[in-house]
Amino acid sequence: MPEFLQFLLSGITVGAVYALVALGFTIIYNASGVVNFAQGEFVMLGGMITVFTYAAGLPLPLAALIAILATAAIGVALNTLAIAPARGAPVVSLIIITIGASILIRGATQLVFDKQLHRFPAFSGDTPIAIGGATILPQSLWVISGAFAIFLLLWLFFTRTLIGRAVLATANNRVAAQLVGINTNFVMTLSFAMSAAIGALAGVLVTPITLTSYNIGLAFALKGFAAAMIGGMGNPKGALVGGLLLGILEAMTAGYISSQYKDATAFIVILVVLFAMPQGLFGSKSTDRV
Amino acid sequence: MSLLQIEGLGIDFGGLRAVNDVGFSLKPGEIVSVIGPNGAGKTTLFNMISGIYAPSRGRVVLDGEDVTRLPPHLLARRGLSRTFQNLQIFQSMTVLENAVAGHHLHDRGSVFADLLALPASRRRTRASEASARALLDRVGLGRACQQEAGSLSYGALKRLEIARALALKPRVLLLDEPAAGCNAVETEEIDHLIAQVADEGVSILLVEHDMKMVMRISNHIVVLDHGEKIAEGEPAAISRNARVIEAYLGAQATEVQNADG
Give pLDDT tens digits for A116-171.
999 999 998 889 998 888 889 999 999 999 999 999 999 888 888 888 888 888 88
Higher pLDDT, B88 or B121: B88
Q: CB distance A180–B164 less than 8 Å?
A: yes
List CB contacts of B261: < 8 A, sequence separation 6 or more: none
Q: CB distance A156–B168 less than 8 Å?
A: no
Q: Locate the domains of chain A by residue range.
A: 2-276
Does B261 have pLDDT greater than 50?
no
**What are the DSSP E strand ranges found in chain A?**
129-131, 134-136
Question: Domain boundary at B148, B168, B188, which?
Answer: B168
Residue B230 maps to a domain: yes
Within this chain, do residues B206 and B224 fall inside the same structural domain, yes or no? Answer: yes
Of the listed ranges A199-208, B10-19, B119-128, the one predicted with least confidence: B119-128
The ipTM, to two decimals, is 0.79
Within this chain, do residues B218 and B205 fall inside the same structural domain, yes or no? Answer: yes
Ramachandran angles phi, psi of A212, nearest 5°: -135, 160
Residue B92 touches chain A, beta carbons under 8 Å:
yes
Chain B residue closest in CA terms to A290:
B150
pTM value > 0.90: no
Domain around B218: 1-79+170-261
| Number of continuous H segments (helices) and E segments (strands) in chain A | 11, 2
The count of C-alpha atoms lying within 13 angstroms of the C-alpha of B109, restricted to the half-sphere facing its C-beta, is 23
Ramachandran angles phi, psi of B201, nearest 5°: 105, 0
Percent of chain A exceeding pLDDT 90 equals 59
Q: CB distance B88–A173 less than 8 Å?
A: yes
Tell me which chain B residues have a C-beta less than 8 angstroms from the C-beta of A284.
Answer: 92
Residue B88 touches chain A, beta carbons under 8 Å:
yes
Mean pLDDT of B170-194: 87
| Cα–Cα distance for residue pair A141/A136, rounded to 1 Å | 8
Q: Identify which of B73, B111, B164 has the shortest CB distance to residue A161.
A: B111
Mean pLDDT of B137-151: 87
Residue B84 maps to a domain: no
Within this chain, do residues B152 and B184 fall inside the same structural domain, yes or no? Answer: no
Question: What DSSP character marks residue B27?
Answer: -
Residue B224 maps to a domain: yes
Percent of chain A exceeding pLDDT 70 equals 97
Mean pLDDT of B129-151: 87
Question: Domain boundary at B152, B168, B184, which?
Answer: B168
**Interface probe with B: pick from A179, A182, A289, most Cβ of B within 10 Å:** A179
Question: Domain boundary at B119, B146, B168, which?
Answer: B168
Mean pLDDT of B137-147: 86
pLDDT, position B152: 86
pLDDT, position B139: 85
Give the residue from A290, A286, A248, A289 showing the smallest Cα distance to A269.
Answer: A248
Which residues 49-78 of B have a C-beta within 8 angstroms of A? 52, 71-74, 76-77
Within this chain, do residues B179 and B261 fall inside the same structural domain, yes or no? Answer: yes
CA angle B188, B193, B198 (to 5 degrees): 130
Looking only at Cα atoms, what is the longest distance across chain A? 61
Tell me which chain B residues have a C-beta less than 8 angstroms from the C-beta of A178.
Answer: 71-73, 76
Q: Identify which of A162, A172, A184 has the shortest CB distance to residue B92.
A: A172
Please give the tally of structural domains in chain B: 2
Tell me how close the Cα of B261 comes to any Cα of chain A, in angstroms: 33
The bridge status of strand B65-66 relative to strand B172-176 is: unpaired
> What would the DSSP string read from start to end of B39-105?
TSSHHHHHHHHTTSS--SEEEEEETTEE-TT--HHHHHHTTEEE--TT----TTSBHHHHHHHHHGG
Q: A2-276: which CATH architecture?
A: Orthogonal Bundle (1.10)
pLDDT, position A290: 45
Within this chain, do residues B126 and B5 fall inside the same structural domain, yes or no? Answer: no
